[in-house]
Homo-oligomer: A and B are copies of this chain.
Amino acid sequence: MSSEKSAINMLIEGILAGEKGALARGISIVENNRQEKEELVSLLYGKLGKAHRIGITGPPGVGKSTLTLQLAKACRAQNKSIGIVAVDPTSPFTGGALLGDRIRMYELFNDPEVFIRSMATRGSIGGLAAAAAEAGDLLDASGKSVIFFETVGTGQSELDVAEACDTVLLMLAPESGDSVQTLKAGFMEIADLIVINKADRDGADKTEIEIKTTLSLREPQEWEIPVIKTIATQNEGTDEVVRHIEKHYTYLKHNHTLEKRRREKLVRRVKSIVRSLLHDAFWTEEKLSNLKKIGESESVSNRSPYTIARDLVRKFLQE
């Protein structure tokens, strides 16, 4: 028991010192939802809040990895230490094809001030977003000043990962289809910056006009979303993206919006942990085995799952 304790303490010391090996072990604990996770995250919790968390999201093939690499290099040129968490919840269909893009990131792999981690766990998308956020906590505690969360995928998981960030950069490309549709589908609410990558391709100007028109239809906002054109493969436009990212961070801090967003994040995480604790308290071995028996005998009965669930919960709350 005491050797366990000291193992965690040693791990925490290593993470606080920014050691790559300790960070890798810590993130594995978080990713695999291991028993030590809660203690690890809780003990590091007082050390958080220094890193700027940047989410980079957009459809597959739009150039997220390439731009992330360029942004990371630009931050290194400013002598900032950085973390990169590449989240890929869509592995079933796209995992293989994207691996090649990732490999280019390893240009930065030998830099002691850069930590790169790829996360892809199927089985629970919500769980993956939570694990990515906690990996961000570990990187934050380790002293990284900028953390990039690159999410390859679509839909809800993108939004979940983005919710854990301070600044969200939405990347589109001239060929990525109906950009306006993407914006309307919930991404306008989470995007702080919009980047049109592959700006040398046909249709880039049309895409820009469409996006700006859609944005102009909104109510006036305190933060107006800038639209920036880049050619990430040629490192064109990266400096402008960096400038806007920094400008957004200044806006967040000046405006108490950073505080507000982080409080909202705390509330969401408490809710998610409560859900999991209630699940564990409710589903005792006995209840699980009873449920299985109900499943076995109930096949011809008319009790709906709602009726069964209500009965179980009523009994639980009366106990």
Contact = CB atoms under 8 A, between A and B. Distances in A.
Contacts of A310: 273, 277
Given A263-B296, A269-B305, A185 B282 contact: no
Nearest to A186: B122
A186 B264 CA distance: 34
A89 interface: yes
A155 B122 contact: yes
- What is the predominant secondary structure among interface residues of chain A facing chain B? helix
A295 B317 contact: no
B313 A278 contact: yes
A307 interface: yes
Interface stretch (A25-33, A173-181, A221-229): A173-181
Interface in A278-299: 278-279, 281-283, 291-292, 294-296, 298-299
A225 to B, nearest CB: 16
A97 interface: yes
Interface in A97-154: 97, 122-125, 153-154
A155 B263 contact: no
A123 B178 contact: no
A303 interface: yes
A156 interface: yes
B153 A154 contact: yes
Contact of A45 (B263, B266, B304): B304
B264 A295 contact: yes
Contact of A90 (B154, B270, B298, B299): B154
Interface in A254-268: 259, 262-264, 266-267
A124 B156 contact: yes
A278 B278 contact: yes
A275 interface: yes
Given A154-B154, A273-B309, 7 more contacts: A42-B304, A89-B155, A96-B181, A155-B157, A263-B299, A270-B294, A277-B309
Interface of A: 38, 41-42, 45-46, 59, 89-97, 122-125, 153-159, 176-178, 181-182, 185-187, 259, 262-264, 266-267, 269-271, 273-275, 277-279, 281-283, 291-292, 294-296, 298-299, 302-310, 312-313, 317
